[in-house]
Chains A and B, each alone.
Chain A
């Protein structure tokens, strides 16, 4: 029997995500991929992988899962209540699920997008080079109870459980941004006011972007009718009603709304993971500061690996404690 991950029940935003399909902007197809890309890199580091594997993105809550063969997996991104047959699981950690057990992943305790990444990755057939669902253009789909996904081979099936301490990016906070192609249209007073404003992440948001709200006057720039050009995740669009909308991974490729700037890549996870009601502020970096803060994804797994630690289990939690050999190498003392 091949390795499969069975979805017993699915939360409302469950889909397969990897790092998306770059290289098609000229054809109107944006890269897409995980809303919080860092979470997939953290999963790869926890699982001892040398590259990111496709996993399940869980928006808001996870679901219930079982497997046909033992599966190592990582839980990263927004912390969610997770358990195997009722025994609680630590988040930002790797674990093992055995056939016959049920993995339950409930609602997010903070943040929006949790990630369940099998060590062998989800092994569905790639479309245009990626396994990511791109819901806005009809590639792939949300997963439902009864769905079953093929899994790839785990390169280190006997590896121990690991844990990765992760800074909290799941409750809003400060977003660093840099000037973009239309920043000059906003003027210094508007830029100052923008940075002095506390925003609240509205209830309106999805993989394409999130709308922010604030008390006070709308932000405006006289930008009616400008030619649309290429837009990116992180771009802060100022819509016609003067309300900012921050683009996320499934945004379109072009847009005609003026943008006050672009959230830097290192803070994209923070905006993607800001739940409704989270407070946010923006601070403008100089070009030099923004370039210095840029971390190419190429070295990211290696860098995260340095912080990965063994997951130490509390002996009280071990039901099978007596079966462990905790002491070895005992000698009688009278050997030659």
Chain B
């Protein structure tokens, strides 16, 4: 008999991940407050400069802390993390302000977003209203994963809490802009997916040979700018296919 799902507890849990890492879990289920807490916690941990820590990574509702057991024992790391966690009511933390705002052109619907209509209907909106909402909300990068540089963006308003498809779309192109569960994902590579494709971007998310291989970071703000299909095709036909077409503003 499987154990019944524990209720979401507001107290963060410290759990082992192999002999040299820990997960600090703010919520078992996806939860916007937990995402804010994870990001805030990682910033605080970076600032605390604890000895022996090798890598600090926020994700959707938790953070991973990797340490060097040759330098510091698990008990010491736990003690340090517990000290840091104790000072704050993590259930009340708001997302740390974004330090950068990206504006990225996107084509919606038609050949670039074959499931825009479906997604809009599920969200109770017309297609044009759906595009407006996707472009007007200042989305934040909540997590990066599945592929290098691939962002999970959110959160859209509550009526966008639409389910993933039961049958997978065999292939969406690199740059596909897909929606489900109040989030938007941009695919870093052509991929199979259960999310519905509403649009497409040309901006390249992973550039291994450039000085900045991963342009987007967790916490960045991102706004889509709807462009007509003709203009998007022109971007795709340009020298680098639109790989760098985006504005990035620093925010204080």
Contact = CB atoms under 8 A, between A and B. Distances in A.
A227 B31 contact: yes
Contact of B59 (A138, A178, A254): A254
A25 B19 contact: no
B147 to A, nearest CB: 6
B213 interface: yes
Main secondary structure of the interface of B (DSSP, over half): loop
A27 B23 contact: no
A180 B15 contact: yes
Contact of B62 (A29, A230, A294): A230
B23 to A, nearest CB: 4
A298 interface: yes
A259 to B, nearest CB: 9
B125 to A, nearest CB: 24
A127 interface: yes
A28 B69 contact: no
B153 interface: no
Contacts of B55: 22-23, 25-26
A190 B2 CA distance: 7
A149 to B, nearest CB: 19
Contacts of B16: 178-181, 262, 287, 290
Contact of A234 (B18, B56, B147): B18
A8 interface: no
A88 to B, nearest CB: 39
B225 interface: no
Nearest to A225: B29
A254 B150 CA distance: 11
A178 B25 contact: no
Nearest to B73: A291
A291 B78 CA distance: 14
B18 A186 contact: no
A26 B18 contact: no
A28 B147 contact: yes
Interface string A159-181: 00000000000000000001111
Interface stretch (B91-99, B138-146, B165-173): B138-146
B2 A222 contact: yes
Contact of A24 (B60, B70, B148): B148
B8 to A, nearest CB: 10
Given A128-B213, A230-B59, A186 B20 contact: no
Interface in B148-178: 148-150
A179 B17 CA distance: 8
B148 A29 contact: yes
A181 to B, nearest CB: 4
Contact of B146 (A181, A185, A189, A252): A252
5 closest Cβ contacts across the A-B interface?
A254-B145, A27-B214, A294-B19, A227-B61, A230-B64
18 contacts: A24-B214, A25-B55, A27-B217, A28-B144, A139-B208, A180-B17, A184-B3, A186-B2, A222-B4, A222-B5, A229-B23, A229-B64, A232-B17, A253-B144, A262-B17, A264-B18, A291-B74, A293-B19
Interface of B: 1-6, 15-21, 23, 25, 27-31, 34, 55-62, 64, 68-70, 74, 143-150, 188-189, 206, 208-209, 213-214, 217-218
Given A28-B188, A232-B17, A254-B143, 4 more contacts: A181-B25, A222-B4, A227-B61, A299-B70
